[in-house]
Amino acid sequence: MSRPQVIDDEQHEQVHERVAAIDVAKDSGMVCTRTPHPSRPGARRSTVWTVKARMNAVRALGRQLHKDGIEIVTLESTSDYWRIWFFTLEACGLAVQLVNAAQAKNLPGRPKTDKLDAQWLARLTEMGLLRASFVPPKAIRDLRDCTRARTRLIQERARCWQRLEKLLVRHEALLLSDGGERPSISLPS
């Protein structure tokens, strides 16, 4: 984890008082929290730092964000990299929203660095300008995983039976030359 950099900001309209946004990459995430300034009433403060995309580091981040009273965490849907962040932070008891990257990019003023991107997402989050993508609840995700695993096992079973049948057919000449009958194999239902 890198050392946090504190950036003071001016007052503006907001929907959420304490927010976080994470610009997700393959090996790390640039985290930005936006909270009320401790000594300037009405002002806002951004704190930006990097967190490794490792289970323990993301869990520690979740505990820290929960302790800081963060109301909502925004993640950009970058490839599949968002998954560890979303599911781990959600398990820490945080409200997490996944947003389509194109949604934030279509707004004017979009910055180009990871640090500025995380700040931009946090500002859009606190103003309620981002629409969350649908991520199924845990029970549905678990059911989907189970169903998909079952489907893969059935396909694998059929593939093994087909390989066995092909092996028997390939050696049919040997079996028939011994006076045997053509082998047949049937799949169990």
Q: How far is CA 119 from CA 5, 55, 67, 146, in A?
A: 12, 23, 20, 38
pTM above 0.75, yes or no: no
Q: What is the pLDDT of residues 61-85, one digit of tens each?
A: 999 999 999 999 999 877 888 888 9
Q: What is the pLDDT of residues 117-133, one digit of tens each?
A: 888 888 888 888 888 88
Hey, where are the domains in the chain? 5-135, 139-177
**Residue in the block written with tokens 């003071």:** 8
CATH code: domain 5-135 is: 3.30.420
Which of 97, 78, 87 lies closest to 19 in space, CA to CA?
Answer: 97
Q: How far is CA 148 from CA 13, 79, 80, in A?
A: 45, 20, 18
